[in-house]
Structures are given as structure tokens and as C-alpha cells.
Structure 1
Amino acid sequence: MASQQMIGGYAFIVGAIIALIAGLLAGFGRSGLLGGIEGWVPLVLVVLGVIVGILNVKDKEITNFLIAAIALLGLAGTAGGLVTIDTVIKPLGSVLAAVVQNVAVFVAPAALITALKAVKTLAAEQVM
């Protein structure tokens, strides 16, 4: 049986690839090439993000992971502004925005799980 670390590693790789491919297709206006499964992409990314949050992020990595996740999620909140790049190089802005938004959907659940781990650790330290 595969170890938890391997499963988490594969979940990260698969999630990153799905986020990239789905973002590229959406940015180029070709999400129909996904054969009607484009509605399932966010759900799959969320499930993979939860797996990554549970299995991949170790206690000593929590702070660094959360800082990176906050930066990424902040960028995703303004990713719509990237579409203005389309006025210069079409459809680069749309592609970048779609990829960033898909990566955010993947990272957000992992960040939530990791933040809850951090809160639990901090609360346990206060009790002792």
C-alpha cells in the first residue's frame, strides 16, 4: 500500500496539473474540450486540496505554507485584473486569470486544513 506521503505527493501533482490544464483551456475559451466535465473540475480540485492539506503539510511547514497560501489567495482575488493584459496580448490575461483562479480553488482547502491544524496546536499549547 502506498504511504500517506506518496498519496499526498500524487494528490499535489495531479491537482496542480488539473488546475493548469483546466485554466489554460478556460483561458483560451476551450473548456468544452473537457467533454462536459468542466463543472466537476472545482470539486476535484477541492477534494485534492483537502488531501494535500491533511497529508502533505507537516507541523514545521505550517507557517511557510500559510504565508504562501495567503499570497496566492490574495492574488486570486484580484486575478480578474489580469484580463486587461488581453488588450496587449490576447488571450494571455484571460489564461493567467483562469490558471490563478483554478490554483486558488486547489490551494484554499489545503490552507483551511492547515490553518485549523495551526489553531489546534496553538490552543493545545495554551492549555498546557
Structure 2
Amino acid sequence: MDLVTVGHWTFVLGLILSVIAGFGGEIPALTAVLVVLGLIVGFLNVTEKESTPFLVGVIALMLVGSAGLGVVRYADWLVPILNNIVAFVAAAGLVVAVKQVLSIARSPQA
């Protein structure tokens, strides 16, 4: 199995765990697992060409996750799911952002 396949299935697993575990509420140990999976996805699954759209998506998900959906009366079940997804993609976004900064720092100035 190559690293691209591992990265793909890690991403799928992270999303599935985020949704399923969200119905069980906030579980700190699971959040740690999601962060580790997100780090793996950031290292293995996002190419330099995909970095900018991926980071824009991460920013959008983080904004939605922190938007305070708890005020929506019938969306209480959605808040822990979004929190889990945010933990997962934020870790991946951190890795991708650091990779981008290092890439820019290494490239010669024009």
C-alpha cells in the first residue's frame, strides 16, 4: 500500500470518526486521535498544488465550527460533530501551512 492510499484512508477514517463520535458528545481521548489522524493527513494527503484550496477549506470549517451553532435550537447534535471535524482538519491545516511557509522560505526571491 502506497502513502497516497494511506493518506486517503486516514482522511476517510478521520471524517467517519468525527461524525460517529460526535453523537457521543465530547471525548478528549478521541479528540487526540483525530488530531493525530489530521497530522497524518497533512503530511501524506495534501500536495503543494492542493495546499491553497485545502487551507481555504480548513479556514471555512474552523469558522463554521466556532460560529456558535449552539444557539440554533435544534442543532445541538451538530456542535460536537463540527468540533470533531475542526480538530481533525485544523491539525492537517497546521501541517500544510507549515509546509507552505517552509516552501516559500526555501524558494529563491525573484
For normalisation by structure 2, the TM-score amounts to 0.92
Counterpart for residue 84 of structure 1: 71
Counterpart for residue 43 of structure 2: 54
**Where does the alignment leave 5 or more consecutive residues of structure 1 unmatched?**
32-37
How far is the alpha carbon of 1:24 from its aligned partner? 2.0
Partners of 1:39 and 1:77 lie apart in 2 by 18
Partners of 1:109 and 1:82 lie apart in 2 by 22
Q: Which of 97, 101, 107 is the matching residue for 1:115?
A: 97
Partners of 1:85 and 1:40 lie apart in 2 by 27
Partners of 2:77 and 2:30 lie apart in 1 by 16
Identity rate, percent:
36
Aligned structure 1 segments of 4 or more residues deviating by more than 6 angstroms: none
For normalisation by structure 1, the TM-score amounts to 0.80
How far is the alpha carbon of 1:77 from its aligned partner? 1.6
Higher helix fraction (1 or 2) = 1
* Larger radius of gyration between Structure 1 and Structure 2: 1
- Compute the RMSD of aligned alpha carbons: 1.5
Partners of 1:74 and 1:84 lie apart in 2 by 15
Structure 2 counterpart SS, 1:114: helix
Alignment of 1:1-128 (within 5 A): 2-26=1-25, 38-78=27-67, 81-86=68-73, 89=74, 93-126=75-108
